[in-house]
Chains A and B, each alone.
Chain A
Amino acid sequence: EIVLTQSPGTLSLSPGERATLSCRASQSVNSDYLGWYQQKPGQAPRLLIYGASSRATGIPDRFSGSGSGTDFTLTISRLEPEDFAVYYCQQYGSSPWTFGQGTKVEIK
């Protein structure tokens, strides 16, 4: 099973700042099948990025994904008030599909 480790656990930033979230896999993710989700309290996760770098439908271009192999990054270029949430990475290249433990982006 591929273990995904996200860092940092919490990111304290101000609106307008740039956020950089990391996701490291215990082994290479096949075909770069890596996704990123945003989750707000009491809500279902929302798919942001799939295939490591492709934005899902309707996702603003301030969200971007990069990386390959075992190291992946989600970047939010300028934080909007609605971006403060928990972010999860997930690999779907090797069954069982697994999620990282999450990074909380909080208002500084």
Chain B
Amino acid sequence: QLQLQESGPGLVKPSETLSLTCTVSGGSSSSSTNYWGWIRQPPGKGLEWIGSIHKSGSTYFNPSLKSRVTISVDKSKNQFSLNLSSVTAADTAVYYCARGACSGGNCYSGVFDYWGQGTLVTVSS
């Protein structure tokens, strides 16, 4: 059973960079799908797609965050990572990593079938 686990600081100061890592276990980050993604959810609110990465390293970002986001993949460690720079209180959210779903030989960057449990990141001084 594929499992994803987010890790990283739970508290980040305003203007600093939020850095999270997602570790994939029970499968390979390079073989089980073509895409991995990050999604966030502010407390009590809805879901927002942050960005996705293809196993080749190609990235796709939400334009609302694009100038501040980088996503990378480390196949050797079965991990992919999110960096969000210049954070403000508006970036306080539960951050999820997830796997792009595949069906019939097609894999998708925008629909997600396995999710991590999520990690709350609070932006505060």
Contacts and interface: CB of A to CB of B under 8 A. Distances in A.
> A and B: partners?
yes
Interface residues of B, number: 24
Contacts of B118: 44
Contacts of A92: 108-111
Interface stretch (A14-22, A62-70, A71-79, A99-107): A99-107
A56 interface: yes
A99 B115 contact: no
B49 A44 contact: no
A25 B110 CA distance: 16
Interface of A: 1, 33, 35, 37, 43-47, 50-51, 54, 56-57, 88, 90-93, 95-102
Interface of B: 39, 46-49, 60-64, 96, 98, 101, 103, 108-113, 115-118
8 contacts: A35-B111, A44-B116, A45-B112, A50-B108, A88-B46, A90-B110, A96-B63, A99-B48
